[in-house]
Amino acid sequence: MDRVEKLIGEINGTMTIEEMPLTKQDKARLRKCLTGKTSYDEMVKRLVKKHTVRTDR
């Protein structure tokens, strides 16, 4: 098992203990960050934008 998959497995284990296992999308986002395809800051910006409710409509 490579380093990235091991880290994702450890994160998933911790999240599962808290009854919040990672989704396939979560794991894909982590892979992108861990492999340098996107930065953590950029991923956070994308998630904030995705989950922000606009009230000016």
Residue 22 near residue 12 (C-beta atoms within 8 A): yes
Burial class of residue 34 (count of CB atoms within 10 Å of its CB; 0-12, 13-18, 19+): middle
Query: Which pLDDT value is given to residue 54?
Result: 86
Query: Which pLDDT value is given to residue 56?
Result: 82
Residue 35 near residue 4 (C-beta atoms within 8 A): yes
Burial class of residue 36 (count of CB atoms within 10 Å of its CB; 0-12, 13-18, 19+): exposed
pLDDT in tens, 34-53: 999 999 999 999 999 999 99
pLDDT in tens, 1-41: 799 999 999 999 999 999 999 999 999 999 999 999 999 99
